[in-house]
Amino acid sequence: THFGFETVAESLKQSKVAEVFSSVASSYDTMNDLMSLGIHRLWKDHFVSSINPGLNPLIHTPSPSSSSTSAPTDPLRILDIAGGTGDIAFRILDYTTTIHNDSTSHVTVADINPSMLSEGQKRASKSPYANTGRIDFIEANAEQLSTIPSNSIDIYTVAFGIRNFTSIPTALREAHRVLKPGGLFACLEFSKVQNPVFDAVYKRWSFGAIPLIGQVVAGDRDSYQYLVESIERFPKQEEFSRMIGEAGFLIPGGGGKEGEKGGWEDLSGGIAAIHKGIKP
């Protein structure tokens, strides 16, 4: 029923996520640096360059309706879901501008949490993109992007957000809906460390140090404890790739021989991974 156990559990998860990100919004960027020893910056840089966003030339498959062979010139529509304070969005804009000399492509940062968005808006107003119309911020739940039309987005990104969603399959189907045919789904998320020895060291760090750093620096042990646990619960690489396929995406490099990685790239031994899918 609508009032069944699952619904209650889901709304509890939603409110817990809201509480966590409201309480970490102002300290979020500092905490990321401390917890990951600054490595999240390198992962995010790599994530964006692996997507290679920008016109000139458009590297993502143009929509099948464009019959001409000339490169499309419409600015790319990029949607950064769970975009928080804009870490990915600003990198994408920097990349399109400096690498592709493309100063028209546009990023929408969508997040469920108004406190995170307002930190992002503050950053945007002090950035080179203030008053360029190249970035905007919307409050939205990844599972129900009702203001985003179907088949309207060239690139959908989500970094360190999807593990917090109540229903990952629902969010993936929504990603599939909003993307244009040929559009790219790209996800950066904590994942599973492959080497058992390194995994033991990493688990000690994450379960021991991260809640402690949260307590000392942000005065908030519980939120950081929640973050560590949500990483632990997230599906491993193969499983998540399968879920992306089930939502209707083609998996680049998928279905390969044994040992060949289909649809994802491990970062730092699997502490994080990039997963991709293409909407057919």
Q: From the list 36, 108, 141, 241, which residue makes contact with ligand SAM (rule: CB under 6 A)? A: 141
DSSP annotation of 129: T
Q: Which helix (H) or strand (E) holds 110?
A: strand 106-111
Between residues 111 and 154, which has the closer beta carbon with respect to ligand SAM?
111
Q: From the list 51, 58, 79, 88, which residue makes contact with ligand SAM (rule: CB under 6 A)? A: 88
The region of 138-146, 148-156, 192-200, 237-245 touching ligand SAM under the rule CB under 6 A is 138-146
Site string for ligand SAM, 7-46 (x = CB under 6 A): ----------x---x-------------------------
> What are the two backbone dihedrals, phi and then psi, of residue 237, each rounded to the nearest 5 degrees?
-45, -55
The region of 66-74, 92-100, 111-119, 232-240 touching ligand SAM under the rule CB under 6 A is 111-119
Q: Tell me if 83 contacts ligand SAM by CB under 6 A.
A: yes
Q: Tell me if 172 contacts ligand SAM by CB under 6 A.
A: no
Contacts 24+ apart (CB under 8 A), 113-118: 113/18, 113/21, 113/22, 113/25, 113/84, 113/139, 114/139, 115/21, 115/22, 115/25, 115/26, 116/21, 116/25, 116/28, 116/84, 116/85, 117/84, 118/25
Nearest distance, CB of residue 91 and ligand SAM, angstroms: 10
- Contact indicator for 218, 24 with CB cutoff of 8 Å: yes
- Contact indicator for 96, 55 with CB cutoff of 8 Å: yes
Between residues 137 and 254, which has the closer beta carbon with respect to ligand SAM?
137
The residues of the shown chain that bind ligand SAM, judged by CB under 6 A, are 17, 21, 81-84, 87-88, 111-113, 116, 141-143, 159-161, 164-165
